[in-house]
Structure 1
């Protein structure tokens, strides 16, 4: 009887030892798995941030063509908005008023795009028009009635012919990719402005 009890106790003790060894082995496997996977996220995050920060235009890399274009586009855009707003108020012809509103609205949008590009490129756009452009605005403002209408429409036809030529050159020969894209995107709007200006001019004869 005593021998049977001793045998059972010995078996129980062996089973208990085996169970502890199994738990210890499982825990060591889990800790190994965790330590091998934990550090993998860090380098990946750094790589992602490096890729994002490397994008963008550097103002120092702009060519003479790019700088000349963007300065002229900024000043010309300001003039088109001011002239258009003037026509929307001072024109006596309903078609001229509508033309002014459309041109002012479209050029405001183009100006905003140019400002976004300048902010990203750290480039300082001109804040005022040329003296000659300001004189054109002041001269137009002094006109009334049919004289105002004719002067404004003639100005829009002539100005947009020059604008279209400049934007075509930039879309082909510009160095900065974003400025080339801006010129290409804006061209159809400028061509539409000229077409509408010519229509209004023909109707006024």
Structure 2
């Protein structure tokens, strides 16, 4: 069975997060661009991801969807890249904590606010993210404790959380706070982050030119 890494993505999607992770990984991979509409919702692609969404990763016979899961899977599948604390390392606690905090409370709170779906204050205790304000304040604390989320070393958690912050700052769904801008700026300057942006931006330009 082939161990080829295949990333199913679209340059105007959360697939940009997975692309950045692939570039940080330093392993050869193939990217399959899946168009919106029928290509993404059709039977062929739904056989890979029944949700009809990108990104999806196929590694040999293993299929992984959801950006946070893709980041965590790749970090563990290729430990030589040093993108996750080793099992037993105490830094694995904050690594998992903030990776999944961003995948759960941050994603839910930011999306709800962006679409005007914020719950009333009395419903906060029934929601996983509580309130948008509490979620953003907690996120600010997380990125203010050090250069990276899992101590002094960049990890897959920074790819995912950093992408959420950079995206939110760009589209105004996350408040511009000094801690967010400093953290996001550090991560955006990484060579792998720049490569990933250049690849997806070039693909976007090609699509726009093609009409």
Q: Normalising by structure 1, report the TM-score.
A: 0.27
Q: Which has the higher strand share?
A: 2
